[in-house]
Structure 1
Amino acid sequence: MSKREYIIANRKWLEDKAKEEGVKALPKGIYYKVLKEGKPNGAQPQRRSIVTVHYTGWTIDGRKFDSSRGSTPIAMRLSDLIDGWIIALQQMHVGDEWELYIPAEMGYGKFSQPGIPGGSTLIFDIELIGVA
């Protein structure tokens, strides 16, 4: 598959996923499905917050490229992360677990990362554990 075909396949996958039952839209072409709801009045991160999460990331072909599960949750400053995470996590409450679908433009764009070809739609299972 050529780079162009790969990018088109990733966009089509996201368009199809957006039509599935239970999938909700966020700004900038990001979609999510709620896997577990935390407290509706639980803390929500701001852009400069330190977030503690468990996560697993896949490409659309089911290849896992990263995960914190099986070890200690990761604590990171939200503003240091990819745009898709910054936008989505600010909508989450502590205790929420979402499956997040991030278009390439809100992830790594045309740049490849280890295990992630450029142009990839990213899928993450993210559980927001804490906000500081």
Structure 2
Amino acid sequence: MRELLALGFGAIFGLGIAISGMINPAKVMNFFDIYGTWDPSLAFVMIGALAVAIPGYALIFRMSRAPVLNAQFARPTKTALDRRLIGGAALFGLGWGAAGFCPGGAIPAIGLGEASVYVFLLAMIAGMMAMRQILARLD
């Protein structure tokens, strides 16, 4: 049941990303091109998502002692900003700005069948695997 719900919610997210045009890397990159062909639509997508998510989370946390399909809510245990978080966020932002894809937009973009999507996903997976190896040596 849990996997079916995850699939359903993922499909809703992917549909929203596709409808909003965020599977198009040019649209995303134009958001970052402030002095050129700036396109503010990504900001509206983010604001719309926050407008739904913030009250939704507040309502769910207020009404429920535990989630329906788990013993407890999975909340972050770390709250401090550290080098790993800041470095990872910076790398994510650089990759997003350079490629025009983030994982949330690249997965639904697979349906486009464009080579750039597959190159991005392979590079992302390679980067995740390399970072996992680096962190294992550091710990």
Normalized against structure 2, the TM-score is what?
Answer: 0.27
Who wins on radius of gyration, i.e. which is larger? 2
Q: Comparing both structures, which one devotes a greater share of its residues to helix?
A: 2
Q: TM-score when scaled to structure 1?
A: 0.28
Greater strand content: 1
